[in-house]
């Protein structure tokens, strides 16, 4: 099984939607662009958002088990995927990449 590198590529904030629809939050997403997490198969990386993991985990598991070329040519690198979390107010885009060394 391969490890999968998860890189925070972009954070977006829709203040107009937040103001109109969202109740105030005590804790917002605190990942930073460029931050890297390493997933070891199905194991969620320490400190990774539970909600974001729900959006990414199927792709992470696929890549960890050798899947590639999701959706028939969507990504230039066949061993990668660009997936966003499911937060409609503050979506975060993550680049998932298969790492070449085997997971221990």
Instruction: State pLDDT tens for residues 53-102.
Output: 999 999 999 999 999 999 998 999 999 999 999 999 999 999 999 998 75
Q: Where are the beta strands (DSSP E) in 1-104?
A: 2-11, 36-40, 80-84, 92-102
β-pairing verdict for 80-84 and 36-40: unpaired
Q: What is the mean pLDDT of residues 32-51?
A: 94
Global pTM reads: 0.91
Distance CA 34, CA 41 (A): 21
Instruction: State pLDDT tens for residues 20-38.
Output: 999 988 788 889 999 999 9
Task: Look at residue 103 in the predicted model and tell me its pLDDT.
Answer: 46
């Amino acid at each position: 099984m391969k490890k999968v590198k998860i890189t925070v590529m972009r954070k977006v904030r829709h203040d107009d939607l937040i103001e109109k629809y969202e109740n105030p939050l005590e804790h917002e997403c605190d990942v930073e662009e460029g931050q890297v997490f390493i997933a070891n198969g199905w194991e969620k990386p320490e400190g990774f958002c539970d909600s974001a993991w729900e959006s990414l985990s199927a792709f992470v598991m696929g890549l960890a088990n050798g899947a590639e070329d999701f959706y028939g040519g969507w990504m230039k690198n066949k061993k990668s995927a660009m997936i966003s979390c499911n937060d409609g107010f503050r979506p975060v885009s993550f680049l998932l990449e298969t790492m070449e060394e085997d997971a221990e």
